[in-house]
């Protein structure tokens, strides 16, 4: 059963990557970043964060309208959540250090709903000529007795990825194409190892070890490459705070 779906994307910059092809190119390291929403913020206020998953891409500054939202966001960085003052901000992406009046690398207008959390993920463009941003809503509503996990495929050239928990036969997520998000799945709490394979082969492309899944909390795994031109696969592990009540 497919658990992946495509999301809205925005064009931004130029980059070239190649796909992960062989077991010997597999890497087992990843980045663990905490990105917890501020639960003390009023429920009617929206919060956003940015994940930079573009190997070789420049550090960026992110603007919401004319207001600087995030500065110097580098590859594999995950910003903290920030409260937005408007429901329909115009997001602009500039290379770090560029004047605010410069022509943006990207600009778009996203519909932001009060009281929700959102993630903008910078990913390579499919043709290798540019970059895009996936706009995701972070739905933190869930079962307090379960943990939640989702996977985002930001690794250009890799389609039909399956993700399973080591020791389990059935895939947790299957057929995850590039530039898609596999929606949240509820799982039992515990410390697990995730295995990433291609749909047509049992060969491991990536092993994500010691992943702690806590009851009432969510984890997002962003798959990418460790550097521009690399054929290896790597994960940005984003741990989050309690789900909404």
Predicted confidence (pLDDT) per residue in 12-68, tens digit:
333 333 333 333 344 444 555 656 666 556 566 788 899 999 898 899 998 888 888
Output the six-digit token pair for 239. 């741990």
Instruction: Assess whether pLDDT exceeds 80 at residue 152.
Output: yes
Query: b/e string for 91-119 if b means 16 or more Cβ within 10 A?
Result: bbbbeeeeeeeeebbbebebebeeebbbb
Q: What is the pTM of this model?
A: 0.83
Model confidence pLDDT, tens digit, residues 185-243? 999 999 999 999 998 888 999 999 999 999 988 999 999 999 888 878 999 999 876 66
pLDDT at 241: 66
Please state, in angstroms and as integers, the Cα–Cα distance from residue 157 to each residue in 63, 99, 110, 231, following that order: 30, 34, 27, 10
Instruction: Name the residue among 144, 124, 98, 160 with its Cα closest to residue 15.
Output: 124
Computed from CA positions of residues 108, 72, 242, 142, in that sequence, does the dihedral angle turn out positive or negative? Answer: positive
Instruction: Assess whether pLDDT exceeds 80 at residue 94.
Output: yes
Instruction: Name the residue among 131, 60, 70, 69 with its Cα closest to residue 98.
Output: 60
pLDDT at 37: 67
Q: Where are the domains of the chain?
A: 4-242
pLDDT at 148: 93
According to the per-residue pLDDT averaged within each range, which of 23-37, 65-79, 99-113, 135-149 is highest?
65-79
Instruction: Assess whether pLDDT exceeds 60 at residue 2.
Output: no
Rounded Cα–Cα distance for residues 53 and 245 (Å)? 30
Average predicted confidence (pLDDT) for the chain? 80
Q: Read off the pLDDT of each residue in 162-182 and give the average, rounded to a whole number.
A: 95
Range from 1-15, 78-92, 109-123, 207-221 carrying the lowest mean pLDDT:
1-15
């Amino acid at each position: 059963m497919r658990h992946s779906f495509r999301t809205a994307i925005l064009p931004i910059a130029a980059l070239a990557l190649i796909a992960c092809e062989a077991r010997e190119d597999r890497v087992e390291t990843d980045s663990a970043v905490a990105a917890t929403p501020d639960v003390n913020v009023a429920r009617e206020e929206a919060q956003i964060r940015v994940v930079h998953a573009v190997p070789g891409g420049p550090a960026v500054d992110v603007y919401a309208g004319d207001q600087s939202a995030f500065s110097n966001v580098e590859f594999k960085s995950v910003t903290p959540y920030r409260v937005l003052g408007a429901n329909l901000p115009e997001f602009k992406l500039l290379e770090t250090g560029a004047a605010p009046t410069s022509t943006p690398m990207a600009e778009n207008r996203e519909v932001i709903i009060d009281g929700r959390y959102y993630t903008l993920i910078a990913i390579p463009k499919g043709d290798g000529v540019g970059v895009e941003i996936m706009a995701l809503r972070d739905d933190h509503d869930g079962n307090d007795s379960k943990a939640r996990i989702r996977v985002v495929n930001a690794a250009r050239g890799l389609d039909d990825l399956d993700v399973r928990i080591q020791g389990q036969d059935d895939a947790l997520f299957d057929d995850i194409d590039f530039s898609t998000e596999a929606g949240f799945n509820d799982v039992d709490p515990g410390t697990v190892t995730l295995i990433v394979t291609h749909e047509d082969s049992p060969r491991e492309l990536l092993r994500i070890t010691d992943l702690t899944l806590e009851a009432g909390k969510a984890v997002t795994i962003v798959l990418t490459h460790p550097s521009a031109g690399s054929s290896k696969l790597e994960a940005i592990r984003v741990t989050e705070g309690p789900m909404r009540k």
